[in-house]
Structure formats: C-alpha cells, structure tokens
Amino acid sequence: MILYALKAAEGYLKMAENGGFTLVGINKASVYPENGLDQLIATKNELGDELTELRIVKLTLEETDFFA
C-alpha cells in the first residue's frame, strides 16, 4: 500500500480539522492515498514558508504475519 504525508525537518504533519497542524512522529502523521495528493500539494504550498524542508513523502506499507 502506498500512502503520502507531509514531512518537515522537525517532523511529520498531523492535520487538525480547523486547518492547523501539529508536528509528530511517523506513527501519528496524517497520511493520504494517491487521490489525496492534490490536497497535500495545496497544503504544502500554503505552509511552505512556515516550515523548514517541507516536502511530500511517499510511504510504502507492507503487511506480513508476525510470528513470535
């Protein structure tokens, strides 16, 4: 599964319903499928001046059975 997120030098973005955001670790980041890329690009363009090294990252999620 491929998902996309916004990442700055300080961490990943977790988007709030009011349009704000919090910088978090990868386990709390807001992630989007490919059809959400337009929204991510728009958000990146809006916040680009506020955050250092803001970029869209591609996350590849692989599910496998864990045998302990």
47 membership: H or E segment, kind and range? helix 37-47
pLDDT, tens digit, 9 for 90 and up, residues 1-42: 999 999 999 999 999 999 899 999 999 999 999 999 999 999
pLDDT at position 26 is: 97
The pair of three-digit structure tokens given for residue 24, joined into one six-digit string: 């978090």
pLDDT band at 68 (very low <50, low <70, confident <90, very high): confident
Question: Is 68 in contact with 20 (CB distance < 8 Å)?
Answer: no
DSSP conformational letter for 50: T
Q: Provide the whole-model pTM.
A: 0.87
* Gap between the Cα atoms of 56 and 40, Å rounded: 7
According to the model, what pLDDT value does residue 64 have?
93
